Every structure is written in structure tokens, then in C-alpha cells.
Amino acid sequence: MATYDSIQTGNIHIDEGERKMKDLSPLAKDRLLYEPRYPQCFKNPEKVCLEFCDNTTFKDIDRPILESYFPNTINFPIMHVTNKVAKTDAINVGVVFCGRQSSGGHNIITGLFDYIHQMNPNSKLIGFIGGTSGLFEGSCVELTAEKLSLYRNTGGYDLLGRSADKISEDDYSRVVATCTKCNLNGLVLIGGAYTATDATLLTEFFLNTGVKTRVVVVPCDYSRDLKNHFIETTVGFDTYCRTVSQLIGNICTDSRSAAKYYHFIRLLGRSPSHVVLEAALQSHPNYAIISEEVAAKRMTLLQVINKIADVICERAKNGQNYGVVLIPEGLIKAISEFYYLLDEISANVEKGVTRDEIYSRLTPWSKALFDFLPDTIQQQIFNPPESRGNFQLHAISTEVMVGALVKQELARRQAEGTYSGKFDYQTHFLGYQARTSFPSLFDCDYAYSLGREAGALVQNELTGYCVTLRNLRDEPANWVPYAVPLLAMTTVEAKQGVYRPSIPESNVDMNDVPFQKFTQCRDAWAVKDDYCNPGAVQFGGAGSWNTTLSLQIEKHDYLKRIQKLREQLNAISQICLPGCDDMLVDSAIAATEGVVRQLEITKMRL
């Protein structure tokens, strides 16, 4: 088996003892001592069994395609933990950082390590160096208590590193070879929606080819892209949002202090705007763009610019020639005209058309938009795509584009005599500064708990599952674990005329409480200096046990509502047992027939 010594995977080079105790700050040393809290059901691994909880279903339109792709996993049920005697045989588990760096990733690994070694001291945890590249090449290291001792409760992925968030069909044979060489009982993939999609397909391949390795996913992504009915949040979202909210709060305070700049701040987050929404709720900027709202209202780029300019003009009437604007990473994909421009460029690139020739091949409307953009944005649009062929949204300086176009619009209004304020602006990109911070207490506990649960899934020989915890607003001891089949989160998407299974990125729900609260407050925030600085993430004292506002106020009762429905249906069955009065039976039939018809109509519309 490989060791840390002179292992190199891609551009990642990890040397023995990269972290040393003497190099750690006093805070870092203190964080190593924190003991994460976790659900009590995982306290004794010898009594952790996972058993049937409930079946799952799919959209009727998706089922035929999913059945063709996943004949082995199509009927996997939701599982829950029971306190029964479990297997305690030694197991070998591999772990890979797949998704982008997110605070708490190291605690997933320490939770997994502690669980399988508590279950059986002869168990082994194998870490793959450089993420998926290491998995493909078999570059790995056995993780020990000593190696992990300097990484507990710390940020970053530097324990193992990562590369590309992609495991394609062409890589399967190499993954099988690695799992076979390392004699892995389980393979734990740490990441978001992309990772979960790849794991779904990899699981089916393993089952088809008789590979014994079980595949388990841990939802870890600072952008919260894997939030859904089953997953309340992802590891890293809490820390990232609370860290950038402090930075935004600092900028808000500075803006009001100097009273002469507008600050355009772009935040990471892929296509969804969960990060911007949470940061807005915490810091109260003068304007925040939510990509999902832009897409739902079919707003053009010019309309977005005009909205911001309107706020600036209104504030100028009160002598407030300063302010803060939040911009999501995924804004340009939410603007339909921009999306079509990117799509046209992508299609031409795939055909091998040179960069110089692409412009001449653009449609008139896409060419007009391209000409409207600042020169820097025109250049960045042609950056090489990500490993999955997507545009590198994080590499496009949307904040520079918005700032420049707002300045242009205000100059036009000033020439017309409809704006008389002063406008100077600064741009900021808050991305890499925050995603590897020391994890918050919540992320420490949450990540560690999910790591222990991942160990339990491998122990119980489950494959094709994602670990989840419900009731996250409560104390960690009361969190409720479920193992949810990856297929239960899978839909079918059409891409270039081909239907493929995919676990979609989670968008902001505009009907849920966080967005509704934002819409209730934003008009006041636009004209008032209602800035809020939540301060830095705390590890003791006031605010240390806080979670994101989104998690505190949004709806998380999907499975509870299903359980309530089951209880009501069961109550009807108990009332209408053989021997009951005819009137009860007729009343129940009349009532349920109408409900069934309405549900069938609603289902067809979804």
C-alpha cells in the first residue's frame, strides 16, 4: 500500500508530516481537542443495525428510464437505525474527497475512522491521495489515529487533497481495480450533487459486475447543492455562510463609515443562490440578487442592472451614495439570454470551432449581448470548461460586469437628468477566503455524525445510499439518522436530446420561509442602513451553537408529513374493519374517492 512519502497525483504533492504540531496556532491546537457531539444511537457500533423504513417512488415520466439504467437499485428502500446486535467483523473502507473543499470534510473522515475502529480495531480506513485521481491510480494511504490527530475539527482537504469532481464510465475499470487491490468493503465518496450522481451510476455498475465494494455518499458541499426532501443541509454550508456573512458585515460597516463607495460582492455557490440568500438574511445588504428569482421572472441582464440602478438612485435622494450589493456565482446562468449565449459558445467549442471563428457564428441576439459585455467578461467566457464540460462560473468576474454596467446605466440617467448622485464602486469576490475555515461547532458535529453513519452503512453492507440526519435544529444527541437510496433523489434530465439520470442541484425554494422573509425585508434594507454584522464564527460563549438562519426557519417536515398521512390512512383502516356499520364504510369510500381523483390529477401535472 502506498504511503505519504513522495506520492504525487496530478498537481497535488503530499509529504509526510505536512502538518506539525509546532506549526499550529494556539486556536488550531485548541480545536484539535474538541470532541464532536453525535446521535446516541451510534455510540455502540455493536448495536447499530439498519432496517427497512419506507419505500420510495418516482415521477411516472421518469420511471421507465430509471428502470432501464438501474435494474438492481430501482427498489431500494429508505433505511433507519435500530438498536439490535450487529456484525462487528473488521472492514476495509476507502474514502475520497470528490466535491469542492468544504469546512468539516476532515471530521467526516475522523467520524468514519472512530466508528469502524470502535466497531473492530482491526478495521482499516484507506484515504485516496488527490481525490478521484488517486482513486483511479490507486494512490492511497492507510489513515491512522496518529495521522488524523492534527486534522480533527480543522478546515481544508489537505489531509488527502482533491482533483476533479467526476467519475465517468471510462473510469470504472480503474475504480474496480483499486477497490479490488485494496480489498475494500466500502467506498465513501464525499461531495455534493455531482458526486451523488456519479455514485448512483457506479453502484449499479458494481452490482452488475459482482464487485463487493459498497458505495456510500456523504453530502458535503458549501453551496448546499444537495439539499432536498431527505437532506436538510450539507456539510460546510454553515461555516461558509457564517464566515462570508461576517466579511460582508465588515464591508457594510466600512461602506457606511466612508460613505463614498458601492460594494459589489460576488459569492461562490454554483448555480443555486442558497449562499447569497443566507448571507443576505444575516447581513442585510441594500440589494441581493437571487438567481432563482431572476430565472422565474425571466429577467434580462438589462432588467437586473436597472433594478440595482433604481436602488442607487433612490438612496442618492437621501444623500446615501454608498451601499452593498450581493451577487450569486450562478447569476449569468439564470439570465436566459446569457444562458443561450453560453450554450451557443459551448456547442461551437464541442464542434472544434476556433475561438476567433465562434463570434461570427453567434446568432444576432447572442452577438448583441456579447458586444454589450465588458472586455474582461468577453475574455473570461472563453475560459476552458470544468471537468464536466460546464462553464467555470467561479472564473467569470460577474461582480466586475455588474459594477461596470451599473456605472454605465447611471451615467445614462445622469445625462437625462434623472440621477444626480455620486457613484464610485469597489468589487469583491468572497470565495476561497471562506470555504476552508475552521468548521463551526455545528459543522464539526454534523460532519462527524455523518462520518459515523457512513461507517454504519458499510458495516451493514448497504450500497447506493446517502447518509442523512433529520431534526438538525435539535441537539446532536437527538438527530435522527436515515439511509436514503441515491435513486430516491434521482430525476431524468434531457441534455442535447439525450435523457440521462441525474441528481439535480437544489435551488432556492421561493415558497419556503427563508425567501419569503427576505422578500419581506429587502425593500426596507434597500433604502435604510439596516446593516448587521454577525461577527466571526465562535467556538465558545455567545453564538457558538448558532446555525444558519435558513436551517432555523425553513420547513423540514417532509418525512413527518408522510408519516402523519400514514397514520391517518391507518386510522381509516382501523375504523372500517370488517363488522363496522355500513354508513362508516360508505362515508370512507365517498371521502377517499374524491381525494384519490384529485391526487391523480395533481400527479399528472407535476
* Cβ atoms 447, 439 nearer than 8 A: yes
Distance CA 493, CA 62 (A): 9
- H helices of 259-300, in order, are 274-283, 291-296
The predicted structure's pLDDT at residue 384? 65
b/e map 258-292, b = 16+ CB within 10 Å? eeebbbbbbbbbbbbbbbbbbbbbbbbbbbbbbbb
* Chain centroid, CA 484 distance in Å: 16
Query: Please, what are the domains in the chain?
Result: 7-13+35-236+437-502 (3.40.50.450), 237-434+509-537 (3.40.50.460), 558-605 (no CATH)
**Cell numbers for 499:** 435523457
434531457: which residue's cell? 494
For 480, phi then psi, to 5°, come to -110, 115
Distance CA 528, CA 525 (A): 5
The 3-state DSSP class for residue 108 equals: helix
The predicted structure's pLDDT at residue 388? 54
The predicted structure's pLDDT at residue 345? 86
| Cβ atoms < 10 Å from Cβ of 170 | 8
Comparing C-alpha atoms, which of 375, 258, 278 is closest to residue 323?
Answer: 258
The predicted structure's pLDDT at residue 10? 42
Residue 387 DSSP code: T
Distance CA 532, CA 310 (A): 23
The predicted structure's pLDDT at residue 391? 63
Q: Residue 383: CB partners within 8 Å, gap ≥ 6? A: 391, 392, 395, 396
> What average pLDDT does the structure give for the chain?
92
The predicted structure's pLDDT at residue 11? 44
* Cβ atoms 241, 570 nearer than 8 A: no
Looking only at the bridges linking them, the beta strands covering 186-191 and 214-219 are: parallel
Q: Is 489 exposed, middle or buried (0-12, 13-18, 19+ CB in 10 A)?
A: buried
User: Which residue type, as a one-letter code, is found at position 445?
Assistant: D
* Cβ atoms 81, 456 nearer than 8 A: yes
Dihedral sign computed on CA atoms, order 9, 13, 16, 21: negative
Distance CA 199, CA 98 (A): 11
Looking only at the bridges linking them, the beta strands covering 480-485 and 78-82 are: antiparallel
Distance CA 270, CA 272 (A): 6
* Cβ atoms 309, 410 nearer than 8 A: yes
* Chain centroid, CA 451 distance in Å: 17
Residues of the chain with pLDDT under 50: 1-17
- H helices of 486-539, in order, are 513-527
Residue range 502-553, pLDDT digits in tens: 999 999 999 999 999 999 999 999 999 999 999 999 999 999 999 999 999 9
Distance CA 41, CA 339 (A): 47
The 3-state DSSP class for residue 77 equals: coil
Distance CA 266, CA 400 (A): 9
The predicted structure's pLDDT at residue 7? 39
Distance CA 282, CA 246 (A): 9
* Cβ atoms 84, 456 nearer than 8 A: no
**Cell numbers for 8:** 504525487
